[in-house]
Structure 1
């Protein structure tokens, strides 16, 4: 099938579109008195398309579409259609905030409780109104669960054939990692991500990475759709409103968008109403010129050493980063060890640190890292570990950038340090909290930034610890 989406500024369409269930969706909606705009039908046709072997052509659908376009209405109908047509279907609709998920639940209830839909849902027992456990239950055994991510309410939910992730601009890597396993045992699962461009204070690293990966052509089973105004658009230009919002002015009124302009900041309006992504979302975390200028052939002697340990999310790589701090408040970082855990396990790291602990000022592990699994073994070895919180990591990343800029940090050449150089070249940033702090972020699933995390943690330990193993302990009697 030849597919395209009218008006989309960017569209990445998967291969092998053999047949689609979109006509069936249209008939169901028409029976209830609803209809879709052309752009919605085109998106639905691709989301509901299957390949010749019967699997979803778009295993993932990623939609970057401004507010007040009707995307929730459209994807809501997809969820209802699939529930009605497939007995025993299990769907989860998740949003970051409870207020949003409650509004969506009420909107979909209003559809399925129409008289024309009476054969689908039992009006007496088909709706669960329990706070935090809202559900729509269909007569054929299908269920749509509505859950807010802020409440961590997906625990124990399994075999999810369709996962709808609303407010994807607030989707962190950790939240996504906790949700995707709900689909592990489902046959032919599908995930739909939809949201607006994340702002600098949004924890939107997962949504940003999905966008980057699709636009770079690194996937063949993802539908990516982006509606956006021009980057330099006049925010009050109605033609730009029309370009960004495919429902304007037919269904989204001039007054509705003008109201957003009155109540949002200029930058938020660009993201929320015009769909414009911040340029910094694609910027590199480490300045290439500053990184190269910090290269030295050999670290100078003296100083006090500290270490940081990190592990990638897949738990396949374990990294030890090292830092030497000098009396003049300069420092040197380098990759000490980088090993495959499938081959070498993890105890080697405990044994290595144990051997040098008496000469070590600090060992640091981030509290959110999989490397925290080493804490019991390190404690048994008599090693004291500094476990950082998110704000500590934010300050540590800022310190590394500042020291590179000021010329007070050095590191070794790329030869022998390739994993660290690759991480420094590819890492982006993610916001931590609302005070300007940030952490390193993976631009895609294939990039391992644990070497950069490890040396950053080592630098943090070196610059903040009060332990000095070079000083003899004075004994008082």
Structure 2
């Protein structure tokens, strides 16, 4: 869309938007009116975001306990933050902790908000509310007479210690680590309002960014199943390649930059295109999420298209066993590789380790003589299982394989390619389907390697076990079952 001959306007609607069900948006309306009195007039897209953050349920509580926005830089996401924080402090008396990855970013946010409270001549009514403005480097804060406050800190391992607040803002969320979040979350556990809220603000993580927390929040926003999450995202589709996005940049930039025509011009975007790498431009200006950082790990369409029947005979059979990282569970899967055609994978069982592993020992020991390989991975339980299998008669040292890290990375890459290229098949297995649909990519190392991950509360152990079995079936040279039909599962 254009206004005049040289001004292109950005889309005010995000490509991805998830807002919890709410009935009362009076706070959002009031926040916009309050901010407008002090020169903060939101763009339409910012008003849309505010409604998601500030909507209330019938009982008066906030509909969204967690909020997030991902939008390319220089589009004004901090303006949305200032409008919300101003309202939370002045009208609601809430206590806020504003965190950022860098000291300079936290300080800049402090200076912008403080400018509304320190200008007695221009905004006397705000100045009258001030009890204290603290400017000590690293301890910047604004404290009001109504009990409200906002404190600004750069994140570290212990940056949440000593704070008890109602609202936690995490700017530069693409750099937020799990360790930092775990240090910060207790700050809102005993929120004075008893209705805490956490807000994540950022851009897609780059290759060297931590990214795990923001990518996880983003994945939940894209899946759209979290009823307490407000998520808005301006981005190009996940499946779009860098080459295609760069070729279509003039068409895509207005869709991913709502501030175009307001604070950002196409000539600036064109200059960035010429200065940046294609990948950097797509991430920083077109909001492209790296497929290694938080996107769906496996194409659901490709997975759905790969359903087929299992080989009846003359198939090399490999079993995969995956112990979960936290030691709470274990999953078992199988893969059959026929002489011709795709490898067929099958999830067999996932169980809590509270049930023990004897069922697993019995199952594998009964079938090991016809299996080509048993691939076992996981920190917890592996040693015990290997010893138990040996005591149960599984003594062939070439049969049981504990893969190296490089082999695990290769297994995941191989599995992804097999699904994408139609070189794998599987049956109808609802539990495995659920894990495939929810799985995310998790960076491993610095050379492009990855594994599977799951949104909070989920599990991908069954998918991991299937991945290990598929890799074993594709790489092992052993085939003890080649003359006697398929192994009975």
Tell me whether the two structures share a fold, i.e. TM-score over 0.5: yes
Matched, 1:15 2:21: yes
Partner of 1:35: 41
Residues 205-214 or 259-268, more deviating = 205-214
Matched, 1:91 2:96: yes
Alpha-carbon deviation of 1:294? 12
Partner of 1:48: 54
Q: Distance in 1 between matches of 2:254 and 2:304?
A: 41
Q: Show the 5 A alignment for 1:66-465.
A: 66-87=72-93, 89-115=94-120, 116=123, 117-123=126-132, 126-130=134-138, 133-149=139-155, 151-156=156-161, 159-171=164-176, 176=181, 179-186=184-191, 187-199=194-206, 202-228=209-235, 240-253=252-265, 256-277=268-289, 281-284=295-298, 288=303, 308-311=322-325, 317-319=328-330, 338-340=350-352, 345=354, 348=356, 365-366=378-379, 396-402=408-414, 423=435, 426-442=438-454, 444-445=455-456, 447-453=458-464
Q: Residues 308 and 458 of structure 1 are in contact (CA less than 8 Å); yes or no, is this contact kept in structure 2?
A: no
Task: Give the TM-score, by structure 2 length.
Answer: 0.65
Q: Residues 91 and 145 of structure 1 are in contact (CA less than 8 Å); yes or no, is this contact kept in structure 2?
A: yes
For structure 1, the 5+ residue unaligned runs are: 325-331, 367-371, 382-391, 462-477
Indicate the SS of the match to 2:88: helix
Alpha-carbon deviation of 1:70? 1.2
Indicate the SS of the match to 1:51: coil
Indicate the SS of the match to 2:130: coil
Alpha-carbon deviation of 1:201? 5.6
Partner of 1:389: none
Structure 1 residues 129-154: Cα deviation after superposition (integer angstroms, max 9, x where no partner): 23xx54443333333233444x2234
For structure 2, the 5+ residue unaligned runs are: 1-9, 336-343, 369-373, 389-403, 473-489
Q: Distance in 1 between matches of 2:37 and 2:321?
A: 65
Alpha-carbon deviation of 1:177? 5.6
Residues 418-427 or 64-73, more deviating = 418-427
Q: Distance in 2 between matches of 1:207 and 1:21?
A: 26
Q: Distance in 2 between matches of 1:425 and 1:254?
A: 37
Structure 1 residues 425-452: Cα deviation after superposition (integer angstroms, max 9, x where no partner): 653312234321112122x446411334
Alpha-carbon deviation of 1:202? 4.7
Alpha-carbon deviation of 1:283? 4.4
Q: Distance in 2 between matches of 1:393 and 1:22?
A: 50
Task: Give the TM-score, by structure 1 length.
Answer: 0.66
Q: Distance in 2 between matches of 1:200 and 1:285?
A: 22
Structure 1 residues 93-140: Cα deviation after superposition (integer angstroms, max 9, x where no partner): 23344443343334334444333232343456x34423xx54443333
Matched, 1:25 2:34: no
Alpha-carbon deviation of 1:296? 6.8
Q: Residues 452 and 460 of structure 2 are in contact (CA less than 8 Å); yes or no, is this contact kept in structure 1?
A: yes
Q: Distance in 2 between matches of 1:422 and 1:46?
A: 28
Q: Distance in 2 between matches of 1:376 and 1:119?
A: 67
Query: Structure 1 residues 405, 291: CA separation in 2 closer, same or farther (over 3 Å shift)?
Result: farther
